[in-house]
């Protein structure tokens, strides 16, 4: 009873509603109020709204195309939201039928000119309502979405302005402004004919043009000179722009890099010449799916996650991954970074082929591993130092000669345990070597015998070491 009273109040508050119904999960109304006579078909199971909510579980408002109402027999659009039970399962929907008749008088009161038009479309851009009404074609279909509107949506999915050519509906050219409603899945598109928009000042434009021509003819060569100078400046600016673009292309190709745009509404990537060359494709636009298919499977989940976080949370990404060119089978290492311009619905990105850099890094790692492998297996003690005398590496043979493991020595300064008699000459030589490195000079070889203690021999005065292993507690004489 409470639901019925609430529904009845809504019908009074919104006279354009033909009816409101609470529908169960089987498609049968549980509670229904209407301002008109009920139709004979009481089931909503086959209605677009019910099938949408049942199939997708979408909690958002769903707006249907114009259709014959299930509550009333009139032409309406249905607005619905799904219901869920205590377990979160689908439990039907609440649907309201909105009559279209009152819209036309409201649209007619707007000052859009004799040849203007106003249209409502759903989120899929299907027509809901148009003023003046859309004519029926011979095959019963509605006119298709114009190419001009599609192009404008690709550039700016949420709001924009464009000029259409002569339409197939009535042959009128119009200036259109469109916007998607922030809270409801509908687009509003308002068009004003170019004749209505510009007709009032065509004559003034013609008069001004003629007057300007007369003044130009009557003036001295100053006007001609100014015009030539202006033309020269424009030519120079165009030449500079062309040269700048050519330098950018050369820089991209030379550095094996490029830039790209992903238009979210169409899923189309617009590549620069450098980007197209990296992917082994032409410079023409290609689908996002084409680029994604080239990513090796091991990297695809991370790439999909990065793009999803960018689009949903506006989190820029910088990632490395590998692709395989579809034409040649060549595998490339890629670095890419991107950020989102949400107002335009475009992802802007940079890309670079880092295959050679990865190969160089691998070769460098291997070249560093070879001498380390040699040092690890040498019988003599080999170590490396920082310019502050800290030990960064010492070969495992130190354990045989002194009884210490490398971990016990690395991080310490090499002079901490040296004997007093060896300290001064070593410090002097080390200082000379550091200064030579800082000035870019060659460091000459240095040969000396130093005294270090073995582990457990006490202060550094006990053992003269060079090649003799530490087998017992010994002292120099």
Check residue 243 and give its pLDDT.
67
Report if residue 317 sits inside a domain: yes
CATH number (domain holding residue 260): 3.30.450.20
Looking at the chain, the number of H-run helices and the number of E-run strands are: 13, 21
CA angle, residues 301, 307, 313, in degrees to nearest 5: 125
Residue 259 neighbours by CB under 8 Å, 6+ apart = 252, 271, 272, 274, 275, 348, 349, 350, 351
| C-alpha span between 10 and 332 (Å, rounded) | 63
Q: pLDDT by residue (tens digit) across 36-56?
A: 444 445 688 888 889 999 898
Check residue 326 and give its pLDDT.
83
Residue 296 pLDDT exceeds 50 = yes
DSSP secondary structure string for all residues of 240-299: HHHHHHHHHHHHHHHHTEEEEEEETTTTEEEE-HHHHHHHT--SS-EEHHHHHHHB-TTT
Residue 282: domain span: 256-358
Check residue 438 and give its pLDDT.
85
Closest to 34 (Cα-Cα) out of 50, 14, 51: 14
Provide the sign of the torsion angle of the four alpha carbons 327, 329, 332, 336, taken in this order.
positive
438 phi and psi angles, rounded to 5 deg: -65, -35
| C-alpha span between 14 and 76 (Å, rounded) | 14
206 phi and psi angles, rounded to 5 deg: -60, -45
Report if residue 368 sits inside a domain: no
Q: pLDDT by residue (tens digit) across 86-127?
A: 888 999 999 888 877 777 777 777 778 888 888 888 878 888
Q: Which two tokens stand for residue 319?
A: 């990632």
DSSP secondary structure string for all residues of 365-427: HHHHHHHHHHHHT-SS--EEE-TT-BEEEE-TTHHHHHS--HHHHTTSBTTSS--HHHHHHHH
| C-alpha span between 18 and 35 (Å, rounded) | 5
Q: Residue holding tokens 């509003």?
A: 188
Same domain, yes or no: 455 and 394: yes
* pTM score over 0.75: no
Specify the number of domains making up the chain.
5
Q: Which long-range contacts (CB under 8 A, 24 or more apart) does 198-203 make?
A: none
CA angle, residues 332, 335, 338, in degrees to nearest 5: 135
User: Would you say 155 and 344 are in contact if contact means Cβ atoms under 8 Å apart?
Assistant: yes
Average pLDDT over residues 169-188: 83
Same domain, yes or no: 443 and 411: yes
Which of the listed residues 48, 80, 99 is the one where a domain comes to its end?
99
Report if residue 42 sits inside a domain: yes
Q: Residue holding tokens 């009128």?
A: 172
Q: Which of 46-50, 212-216, 284-288, 392-396 has the lowest mean pLDDT?
A: 212-216
Check residue 307 and give its pLDDT.
92
Report if residue 25 sits inside a domain: yes
Average pLDDT over residues 136-160: 79
Instruction: Dump strand ranges (E) for 64-206.
Output: 67-68, 75-84, 90-99, 117-122, 127-131, 159-163, 174-180, 186-193
| DSSP code for 146 | P
Which of the listed residues 47, 75, 99 is the one where a domain comes to its end?
99
Q: pLDDT by residue (tens digit) across 229-283?
A: 666 677 676 776 666 666 666 666 677 888 889 998 889 998 888 888 888 887 6
Which of the listed residues 358, 393, 420 is the one where a domain comes to its end?
358
Q: Which two tokens stand for residue 364?
A: 């460098």
Same domain, yes or no: 271 and 182: no
pLDDT band at 78 (very low <50, low <70, confident <90, very high): confident
Report if residue 367 sits inside a domain: no
| C-alpha span between 82 and 251 (Å, rounded) | 55
pLDDT band at 82 (very low <50, low <70, confident <90, very high): very high
């Amino acid at each position: 009873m409470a639901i019925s009273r609430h529904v009845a109040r809504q019908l009074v508050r919104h006279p354009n509603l033909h009816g409101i119904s609470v529908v169960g999960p089987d498609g049968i109304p549980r509670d229904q109020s209407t301002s008109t006579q009920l139709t004979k078909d009481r089931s909503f199971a086959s209605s677009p709204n019910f099938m949408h909510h049942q199939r997708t579980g979408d909690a958002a408002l769903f707006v249907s195309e114009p259709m014959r109402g299930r509550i009333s027999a009139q032409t309406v659009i249905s607005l619905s939201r799904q219901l869920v039970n205590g377990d979160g399962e689908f439990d039907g929907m609440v649907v309201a039928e909105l009559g279209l008749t009152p819209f036309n008088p409201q649209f007619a009161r707007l000052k859009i000119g004799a040849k203007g038009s106003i249209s409502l479309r759903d989120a899929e851009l299907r027509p809901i309502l148009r003023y003046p009404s859309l004519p029926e074609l011979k095959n019963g279909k509605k006119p298709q979405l114009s190419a001009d509107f599609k192009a404008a949506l690709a550039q700016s999915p949420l709001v924009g302005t464009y000029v259409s050519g002569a339409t197939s509906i009535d042959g009128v050219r119009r200036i259109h402004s469109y916007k998607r409603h922030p809270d409801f899945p509908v687009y509003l598109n308002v068009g004003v004919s170019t004749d209505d928009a510009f007709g009032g000042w065509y004559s003034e434009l013609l008069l001004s043009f003629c007057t300007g021509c007369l003044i130009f003819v009557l003036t001295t060569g100053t006007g001609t000179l100014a015009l030539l100078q202006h033309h020269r400046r424009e030519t120079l600016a165009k030449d500079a722009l062309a040269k700048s673009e050519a330098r950018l292309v050369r820089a991209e190709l030379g550095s094996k890099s490029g830039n790209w745009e992903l238009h979210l509404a169409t899923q189309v990537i617009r590549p620069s010449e450098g980007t197209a060359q990296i992917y082994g494709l032409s410079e023409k636009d290609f689908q996002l799916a084409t680029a994604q298919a080239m990513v090796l499977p091991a990297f695809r989940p991370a790439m999909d996650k990065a793009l999803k976080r960018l689009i949903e949370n506006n989190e820029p990404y910088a990632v490395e991954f590998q692709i395989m060119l579809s034409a040649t089978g060549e595998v490339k290492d890629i670095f890419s970074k991107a950020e989102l311009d949400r107002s335009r619905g475009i992802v802007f990105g940079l890309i670079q082929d880092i295959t050679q850099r990865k190969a160089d890094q691998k070769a460098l790692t291997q070249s560093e591993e070879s001498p380390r492998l040699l040092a690890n297996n040498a019988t003599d003690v080999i170590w490396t130092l920082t310019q502050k005398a800290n030990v960064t590496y010492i070969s495992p043979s130190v354990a045989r000669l002194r009884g210490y493991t490398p971990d016990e020595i690395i991080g310490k300064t090499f002079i901490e345990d040296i004997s007093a008699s060896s300290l001064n000459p070593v410090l002097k030589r080390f200082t000379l070597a550091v200064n030579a490195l800082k000035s870019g000079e060659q460091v000459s070889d240095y040969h000396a015998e130093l005294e270090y203690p073995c582990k457990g021999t006490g202060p550094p005065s006990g053992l003269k070491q060079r090649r003799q292993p530490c087998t017992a507690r010994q002292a120099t004489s």
